[in-house]
Structures are given as structure tokens and as C-alpha cells.
Amino acid sequence: MKRGLILLVAVALSACASSRPRAPQDDHASLGRAPVVDASAMDSQRDIVLAVANPIDPPATHAGSSLLGYAPSKHYGAGQRAAATLAALKQSYGLHEITGWPIKALDVYCVVVKTPPGMARDALLKALAKDDRVQLAQPLHDYAVYADKPQDAHQDNDPYASLQRGFVETDAALAHDFSEGNGVHVAIVDTGVDTTHPDLLGRIHDMHNMVDDDAAAFNRDGHGTEVAGVIAADGDNHRGIVGIAPKATLSIYKACWYPAALHAGARCNSFTLAKALAAIIDTDTRIINLSLGGPADPLLSQLLARILEQGRIVVAAMPPDGNADGFPIDAPGVLVVRVGGTSAAAPGVLSAPGIDILTTQPDGGYDFTSGSSMAAPHVSGIVALLLALSPRLDARTAHDLLLRSSKVSNGKLQVNAAAAVAALRETQKAAP
């Protein structure tokens, strides 16, 4: 396929956004619900996530719809036992519920509660941990994305030489002779995405806002838009860039938001990430991209373990400090990705392009950005290419194949789309 023209016109087309179709779907709009809680207003220094047993299944839902919507009932999705337990716990400890939601996959009902005034949160957590009525009690943790602020393309000494560096370094154009990720479903858990971007219009299947009701903010979010473009920007459409897997289908789960402070990176918390992961469990998505991370979290670990048990492939970004102790990279089976460099990676860690990556931006734009947040979607895109050829490919096989087919490019040992596809095809030929 002819990529040259597509690459050369990327910056020139940054202002060429055309029609603006539908806004992101509101998971709660059809539920007749009470106002959605703004997750960005929660206090990670004081708030607690509390779970109680919920043996009564919540109302049936369909794949692609939200398991976690709100209805006028105070305990939407909570069975009689869960509702009674929560009422008793609130009275015993003086708790104020901010919001609650069922997690069907774990048979629990979760609430975010405020620590009562005058009480230390750690003391409350210790008391709740000893209470037999409580399945889980933990702090509301904060999480962050791993990307630097986009650079001004015009400040690059040779912007055309830098266009789609990751696409070139992974030999993705050669891989596209055999696979473009057709039919592979990828979930992006991140900020919102510019769903009207001309390079993403044909790729996004469904959107879910786990943070608030602000559809306009959803489309203005930068980080998720960047990740989506690396994975699946449309190819051969005579505009912009092309993704690693331009025929893959994307589901967007907004679990992160931008704080009001200028130049602050996007943030997420235990509440929003748990909602996103629980919703994914009820879908057919094969790949989950998590270009974010933070501290270990019991609830998120349980949900991630369930996702991995289902045979899905989770791709996660390595923190900038290289610490592998937190969520989500501490879960066995997760494909951990760092920015490719001249130093050796930790055993089992994949390396991918992550410096000066040209990708999609809100308002139909394009710009360069860096960080392991950009390295991870390169791997998600390559895995989509592989799954299109071998739908039953599992995470361990995909990881080992990517590791052994990595090649040196510009002095860096990195994953290589063409080599990975070739290795998989050779394996398929050799199979009886």
C-alpha cells in the first residue's frame, strides 16, 4: 500500500476536520437515573472503596451496554442482602455514600464513601477490615497516564523525517501486506477520545464515560485520542496518518480526566477504572490497552485477574521510573511495554517506539508526543495484526512471539510488526 502520501500530508491536514457526527454515547441516558457523580471531585486522600457481598444478580444487560449505570433507586443493582449490609455499615461507622455500583463478575456491590470528620482514614480501614460484613475496604487510589505534553511539530528540525516514527521503525507497512487487524476488537481505557476526528471516524464502535456526563470534554481529551490514533488511525483515506492496525475496531472507556490545573496530566481513580474493567468483562473485546498506572489496588487486581482468566490480552505501559510493583503491570500475564532505548529492558518487558510519535489530537489535529503511553499502543496494534491472522492466539504466545521477533532499529531493540507477522505465519505453516 502507498503510505508516502499519507505520511507527508499529516501536518498539513491538521486543520481539515470535516463533519461532526454523533457525540459519545451516554451509558446512563436510557436508565432514568439520578445525576451521575463527577469522579474528578472525589478525594483520594479521604475517600474509601467498600465492597459487600451481593449474591442476587443485577438486571441482565447486553454486551456493549453499561453494567454500572445509575437508576433512581438508591441501591441500583444491590440485592436485599447488600442493601441491608450497607445500611448497617453506614450506621455503625457514620459513613456517607458518594456513589455505588454492582460488579457482577465479582458478586459484590461497591460504594465510594467519605471518611467521617474527625476520624483517620487508616483507622477506619483497619476497623472495616476486621468486620465480617465487609468483602473489601481500601483507599480510593489515584492513577496517572504516562505521556509527555505534545510537542509543536513546527519546532522539529526535520518534521517530515519524524513523521510516524513508530510506524516506520516497526515496519508496519510491510506487515499490512498480510494483516491490518480486520475484525479485532480493542478496548482503550484512558481519557475520552475525539470521536469526530477524520482519522478515527471509521474505527470507533462504542464509547463509555465512567467519569461524568460531559460529552464535550470527552471529545476534547488528548491522551486517549493519541492512543487511539497509534493503534487504529484509518489508512488509505488520503488524510493524516495510519495506525498500526487500521482495520481494528475500538471501544473507548473514559476512566481518566484532566484536572483544572494548567498542563496537568490526566488522572484516574479506583472508582472509574473499576467501572471500566467491569464493563469490559461483559464484552467480546480481545485486547485492552492501559497506558496508565499507579499503586497496587485489591479491587482492580481482582477485576484484572478475571479479565486475564477470560483469555484477553492486556497491554500496559511501564511507569517512567521503571517501578513494576503497581497496577496494572504487577499482574502476571500482562504485556508490559517500555519506551525502546539503548539499555537492556527488564526480563520479559517489551520495548516499542515512544519518542516523538506523531498521532491524532483533538479537533482533528496531529502532533508529536512521547512516553510509554505511546509505546504500549504500538504493541496493542501489533497484537491486533496477529489476532486477525490467529484469533485463538493467547497472551503468553503473543508475548513470546513479540519478544523473539524484536529487531534493532536506530540502535534500539524494539518490537517489529513485520517480523512478528512473519514469525506467526511461519508457525502456522509448520503446524500439522
Active-site hit among 179, 372, 373, 380: 373
User: Does the residue 284 lie in any domain?
Assistant: yes
Closest listed residue to residue 36, CA positions, set 61, 69, 58? 69
How far is 277 from 186, CA to CA, in rounded Å? Answer: 13
User: Does the residue 375 lie in any domain?
Assistant: yes
What does the pLDDT read at residue 78?
80
**Do 382 and 344 fall into the same domain?**
yes
What does the pLDDT read at residue 59?
47
Tens-digit pLDDT profile for residues 151-196:
443 333 223 223 788 999 999 999 999 999 999 999 999 999 999 9
**Do 88 and 216 fall into the same domain?**
no
Q: Which DSSP string do the residues of 102-144 spell out, in sequence order? A: EEGGGTEEEEEEEPPTTS-HHHHHHHHHT-TT-SEEEE--EEE
* Domains in the chain, number: 2
Mention every residue, 6+ apart, whose C-beta is less than 8 A from residue 370.
147, 148, 151, 339, 354, 355, 356, 357
Tens-digit pLDDT profile for residues 198-249:
999 989 999 999 999 888 899 999 999 999 999 999 988 878 899 999 999 9
- Residues present in the chain in total: 432
Q: Which DSSP string do the residues of 326-386 spell out, in sequence order? A: SBTTTSTT-EEEEE--SSPPPTT-EEE--SSEEEEETTTEEEEE-SHHHHHHHHHHHHHHH
**Do 126 and 150 fall into the same domain?**
no
Q: What is the mean pLDDT of residues 114-122?
A: 95
Does residue 35 register a pLDDT over 70? no
What does the pLDDT read at residue 149?
57
**Identity (one letter) of the amino acid at 256?**
C
Active-site hit among 176, 197, 223, 399: 223
Does residue 114 register a pLDDT over 90? yes
User: Does the residue 1 lie in any domain?
Assistant: no
**Do 114 and 224 fall into the same domain?**
no
The number of beta carbons lying within 10 Å of the beta carbon of residue 258 is 20
How far is 234 from 239, CA to CA, in rounded Å? Answer: 9
**Do 355 and 264 fall into the same domain?**
yes
**DSSP state letter for 289:** E
The pairing of beta strand 357-361 with beta strand 365-369: antiparallel
> Active-site residue 122, yes or no?
no
Q: What global pTM score does this model have?
A: 0.85
> Active-site residue 223, yes or no?
yes
How far is 283 from 211, CA to CA, in rounded Å? Answer: 20
**Cell representation of residue 209:** 464515560
What does the pLDDT read at residue 256?
97
329: domain CATH number is: 3.40.50.200
Task: Supply the range of the domain harboring residue 136.
Answer: 45-140
How far is 277 from 103, CA to CA, in rounded Å? Answer: 10
Active-site hit among 47, 190, 330, 367: 190
Q: What is the mean pLDDT of residues 106-120?
A: 95
**Do 82 and 179 fall into the same domain?**
no
> Active-site residue 142, yes or no?
no
Cis preceding-peptide flag for 328 (omega within 30 of 0): yes
